Chains A and B, each alone.
Chain A
């Protein structure tokens, strides 16, 4: 049995320690907002925050997440919420499938960098593929969130 702390809630599950975190989250715990896209850490659809760092949960074993705070798209954090609002405002998603991973990657960026440059946004988001090609709006939504935060601070 292992215990995972996801979005502030504890889940004790009976899985092999080498099961990738993604499948524990999706199939065992039942939070399906985190997506399977490639299984090799290539596309970013499965991103979650592990103690505030973005990880590709399809290649991280459950054992590496024990004792850490896991944030998924269903969770709440200030930056995630602000980004979600900008995402909606700019109508970013097309099919929407990759967007949870995109939002988690953007949250990780803003958590450690309040004023990212264009290049820093690209570097933070380079691991996330969007086959619909919503990148331009993703970039704008991140920039908009930063602007809004700066106005209020």
Chain B
């Protein structure tokens, strides 16, 4: 059993009796370091996660956003498990955006990684207090009492329900020593728990941002310049105002901040359709600005040229030139990947109601605190005057970390003094995203006569996410370099270089981020090397990862090569790697470490009449301790489809600065007739919990490309595969 000791009660937790009669446990989730504790001592603000009512109902707070990640279920089930609560009595309440909850940014696949231990403590504390309450009531020793399924039970057999103990529990001191359960006694953690919101989802009752309604709320559509950061030169609103339901047309300026509004012409109407129609009826002349020169073909040529010459050296270990000179064989390849758009099923949207210097927002946001800060900054008001209510998110994938759409709603509500809902059309969403980067990569390696890789050069050029925050940055940043420079291969001579790539659109993070281009090039190139060395790709890859070791690098990216090899071996075993497959069928594999998790996939494709079909995906993940097995499984299933969508169809291009794609007809997604069977295995582990939402994505595209090579002998270096007529 693990025990937490010496935690100052004042800084960590305290109980508050509420007029409602409930017991509320307050805690500070930021207790990750001494520094944090000290900071909070000065300005202590209790954070609420557990509220037990006298009827036994248990309200647990989810501080992270629900977007299909299952976080409302997983975080609260951890509390319930430690508390010995009955899951059927749990009601999950979504936290508003507030620093008191600690970091609420739901991205980076880190909700469980950051909050697992804290949520356990919240549950354990509540349990300890309920035991103390029962002991007090019965005048017995606490050691004679245990908690089980929403009851405290005495060794004599008598018992009291949690709800019956509220009155006493709320008068008690909060324990300073908390004992956590032994993992073998977990009731919910590590099991399969259904989403607590499943019923609401299937009945259409879950309230997404788009579903929020307020009395007298107006609906708004905004016309934005087709070219990123272009501005309005002039506009004519007469035709728009003629449309029934359109009530006003106003210009909103650009807010020049990373998550500021793009600016444009807003049409305010009594319903969404009138707003959309009004927007189409506008006549606008734009100042396109510098980004008008953005043409994807020319740009790709430019960044490709930049990786075919020396770049800025980011890592240089050993003597790469010597390795190349003494090579038995040299292999080199260039990879080109286009921009991607998030395209969550629910478009960006937000409801805002500004009243004086106060504002309340209802929005599907992955970043409620960031959103709050943007609203405070825009209104030049104070924190307590701004409330950010987090609705369900109809998908996020990183798009809804950027609250530009909330800022728009706030601007318009302030201007018109009414509650408004800003709704992006699907076209707005595809054409004005924070796009996943576009990239060119060049890899060169030397092999010795035994097929060992002796030298590895990886050069890449891609517009950095940092450009969104610091305009003018035109080289990849440290975190974008790390996933290439920490490639988990045991190679003595290694060089990483970055080439110039200015941003011509807003660049943002999209599910698995930099691991998409790097996971692709590293895995496809490793496959090419295996064939160049006349070795089986599985054997070659295990050898390339090398001996068991734990790599601890400067970028906090540590990895255990034994765990990496293990997921690959299990995936190969599950797929029966090496077995005879039907004619025109073949396997390909990929393995990648990201978000502190290890994932391998073996993919079976067939190529018939030059058309690719994916039949099976065998994915294995090691994400340390698992909170909800079914969620991990679901995320791996979904990641396979997300990875297939980008491999088959994902491509955003610009012409004269304007994005050419607009909707699901020309920015396609995988549909049900294209899906493979996805087989998932989760490695049993008691290591710390690591990422789940993203690490399943990067392996899919390279495994498909590797399988196509095996099936056809043709090597494809660029995505999407639709460009080759393969799908």
Query: Which residues of A are at the interface with B, using a C-beta cutoff of 8 A?
Result: 15-16, 19-20, 23, 26-28, 30-40, 42-43, 45, 72-74, 84, 87-88, 91-100, 103, 121-123, 125-126, 128-139
| B244 & A16 in contact (Cβ 8 Å cutoff) | yes
- Point out the residue from A95, A100, A103 that lies within 8 Å of B392, measured CB to CB: A95
Quote the shortest CB–CB distance from A40 to chain B (angstroms). Answer: 6
Chain B nearest CB from A33 CB (Å) reads 2
Question: CA–CA, A133 to B685, complex, Å?
Answer: 26
Q: Find B345's partner among A23, A103, A131, A135 (CB 8 Å cutoff).
A: A131
Contact of A94 among B70, B670, B671 (CB under 8 A): B70
Q: Which of A19, A123, A129 is within 8 Å of B273, CB to CB? A: A19
- A84–B273 Cα distance when bound, in Å, is 30
Q: What residues on B are CB-neighbors of A138 within 8 Å?
A: 672
Are the C-beta atoms of A125 and B672 separated by less than 8 Å?
Answer: yes
Q: Are A135 and B663 within 8 A (Cβ)? A: no
Contacts A42-B664, A95-B67; is A36 near B204 (CB within 8 Å)? Answer: no
Contact B68 A95, beta carbon cutoff 8 Å = yes
From known contacts A23-B273, A34-B204, infer whether A96 and B392 are also in contact, taking CB-CB under 8 Å.
yes
CB distance B345 to A100 under 8 Å? no
- Residues from chain B with Cβ under 8 Å of A130 in the complex: 345, 641
Most central of A93, A100, A126 by chain B CB within 10 Å: A93
Question: Is B487 part of the binding interface, using a Cβ–Cβ cutoff of 8 Å?
Answer: no
Asked if B271 and A23 sit within 8 Å, CB to CB, the answer is: yes
B311 close to A (CB within 8 Å): no
Please pick, from B197, B202, B346, B642, the residue contacting A87 in the complex, using a CB distance under 8 A. Answer: B202
Show 13 A/B contacts (Cβ-Cβ < 8 Å), sorted by A. Answer: A30-B213, A38-B426, A38-B664, A39-B276, A40-B426, A73-B203, A74-B204, A88-B194, A94-B68, A95-B395, A98-B394, A99-B201, A138-B672
Q: In this complex, what residue of B is CB-closest to A38? A: B426
- B630 CB-CB contact with A under 8 Å: yes
User: How long is the Cα–Cα vector from A36 to B428 in the complex, in angstroms?
Assistant: 14
From known contacts A36-B347, A95-B393, A97-B394, infer whether A84 and B669 are also in contact, taking CB-CB under 8 Å.
Answer: no
Bound-state Cα–Cα, A121 to B672, Å: 9
Within 8 A of A (CB), among B37-94: 66-70
Chain B contacts of A139 at CB under 8 A? Answer: 672, 675
Please give, as numbers and ranges, the residues of chain B lying within 8 Å of A123 by CB-CB distance: 673
Indicate which residue in A87, A100, A126, A133 contacts B639 across the interface (CB closer than 8 Å).
A133
The distance in angstroms between the C-alpha atoms of A100 and B637, with both chains bound, is 20
Residues of the B chain whose Cβ atoms lie less than 8 Å from the Cβ of A137: 634, 637
A33 touches B672 (CB 8 A): no
- Contact check, B273 vs A27: say whether CB atoms are below 8 A apart: yes
Which of A35, A87, A136 is B677 in contact with, Cβ under 8 Å?
Answer: A136
Interface centre among A91, A129, A131, A134, by most chain B C-beta atoms within 10 angstroms, is A131
Q: A93-B202, A126-B671, A133-B641 are in contact. List 6 more A-B contacts (CB 8 A).
A: A23-B273, A32-B207, A33-B203, A88-B199, A97-B394, A131-B397
CB–CB A91/B195 < 8 A? yes
Residues of chain B lying within 8 A (CB to CB) of residue A129: 345, 664, 669, 671
Among A23, A97, A128, the one with the most B-chain Cβ atoms within 10 Å of its Cβ is A97
Question: B467 at the A/B interface (Cβ < 8 Å)?
Answer: no
* CB neighbours of B670 from chain A (8 A): 133, 135
State how many angstroms separate the Cβ of B261 from the closest Cβ of chain A.
21
Q: For this complex, into which size category does the number of interface residues on chain B fall?
A: 35 or more
The distance from the CB of B276 to the nearest CB of chain A, in whole angstroms, is 7
Name B's A-contacting residues (CB within 8 A): 66-70, 194-195, 197-208, 210-211, 213, 219, 244, 271-273, 276, 343-347, 392-397, 423, 425-426, 630, 634-635, 637-642, 645, 663-665, 669-673, 675, 677-678
**Of the candidates A34, A40, A43, A103, which one forms a contact with B202 in the assembled complex, judged by CB atoms under 8 Å apart?**
A103
Partner pick for B634 among A39, A87, A91, A131, CB 8 A cutoff:
A91
Question: Which residues does chain B contribute within 8 Å of A27, judged by CB atoms?
Answer: 219, 271-273
Point out the residue from B70, B198, B201, B210 that lies within 8 Å of A36, measured CB to CB.
B210
Q: Which residues of B contact A40 (CB under 8 A)?
A: 426, 663-665
Smallest Cβ-Cβ distance to A105: which chain B residue: B672
Would A131 and B343 be within 8 Å (CB), given that A26-B272, A91-B195 are in contact? Answer: yes
Contact A96 B271 (CB under 8 A): no
Q: Which 3 A-B pairs have the closest CB atoms?
A: A33-B204, A133-B641, A97-B394
Give the interface centre of B67, B197, B202, B639 by most chain A CB atoms within 10 Å.
B202
Indicate if the CB atoms of B202 and A36 lie closer than 8 Å.
no
* A11 vs chain B, min Cβ distance (A): 15
Partner of B394, one of A72, A95, A134: A95
Tell me the bound Cα distance from A42 to B253 in angstroms: 32
Q: How far is the CA of A131 from the CA of B644 in the complex (A)?
A: 11
Which of B197, B213, B397, B634 touches A96 (beta carbons < 8 Å)?
B197
Chain B residues positioned under 8 Å from A30 (CB to CB): 213
The CA-CA distance from A136 to B634 in the complex, in Å, is 10
Partner of A132, one of B244, B395, B663, B672: B395
Chain B residues near A45 (CB, 8 Å)?
Answer: 345
Across-interface contacts of A133 in B (CB, < 8 A): 637-642, 645, 670, 675
- Give B210's nearest chain A residue, CB to CB: A36
Docked complex Cα distance between A15 and B526 (Å): 61
Q: How far in angstroms is the closest Cβ of chain A from B446?
A: 39
Q: Is the CB of B638 within 8 A of A97?
A: no
In the complex where A27-B271, A128-B672 touch, is A99 in contact with B202 (Cβ < 8 A)?
A: yes
A136–B202 CB distance below 8 A: no
Contact B672 A122 (CB under 8 A): yes
A132 touches B68 (CB 8 A): yes
Scoring B66, B69, B211, B672 by chain A CB atoms within 10 A of each residue's CB, the highest score goes to B672
Closest A residue to B342 by CB, please name it: A131
Distance in angstroms from A60 CB to nearest chain B CB is: 12
Q: Which residues of A contact B197 (CB under 8 A)?
A: 93, 96
Tell which of B198, B200, B641, B675 has the most Cβ of chain A within 10 Å. Answer: B198
A79 → B minimal CB distance (Å): 13
Instruction: Choose one: A32, A42, A96, A126; the contact of B68 (CB below 8 Å).
Output: A96
Residues in chain A near residue B638, CB distance under 8 A? 94, 132-134
A28 to B639, CA, bound (A): 37
CA distance in complex: A133, B397 (Å): 12
Decide if A134 touches B637 in the complex (CB within 8 Å).
Answer: yes
**Residues in chain B near residue A35, CB distance under 8 A:** 208, 210, 345-346, 394
Contacts of A125 in B (CB 8 A): 672
Given the contacts A23-B272, A36-B210, A97 and B395 also touching, CB distance less than 8 Å: yes
- B392: which A residues are within 8 A, CB to CB? 95-97
CB of B48 to closest CB in A, whole Å: 26
How far, in angstroms, from A42 to B207 measured CA to CA in the complex? 23
Taking the closest CB of chain B, its distance from the CB of A32, in whole angstroms, is 4
Contact B673 A134 (CB under 8 A): no
Interface-centre pick from A38, A45, A121 (highest chain B CB count, 10 A): A38
Shortest CB-to-CB span from B703 to chain A, Å, is 16
* A residues near B66, Cβ cutoff 8 Å: 95
CA–CA, A51 and B154, complex, Å: 61
A98-B195 contact, Cβ under 8 Å, with A23-B273, A38-B663: no
Most chain B CB within 10 A, of A36, A42, A133, is at A133
* Contact of A131 with B272 in the complex, beta carbons under 8 Å: no
Give chain A residues whose Cβ lies under 8 Å from the Cβ of B665. Answer: 40, 42
In the complex the two chains form, what is the Cα distance from A87 to B194 in whole Å? 11
Among residues of A, the one whose C-beta sits closest to the C-beta of B244 is: A16
Minimum CB–CB distance from A13 to chain B (whole Å) comes to: 11
Nearest-neighbour CB distance to chain B for A6, whole angstroms, equals 12
Q: B219, B425, B637, B671: which contacts A136 (Cβ < 8 A)?
A: B637
Cβ of A101 to closest chain B Cβ, rounded Å: 9
Which residues of A have CB within 8 Å of B678?
Answer: 136
Contact A135 B394 (CB under 8 A): no
A36 touches B203 (CB 8 A): no
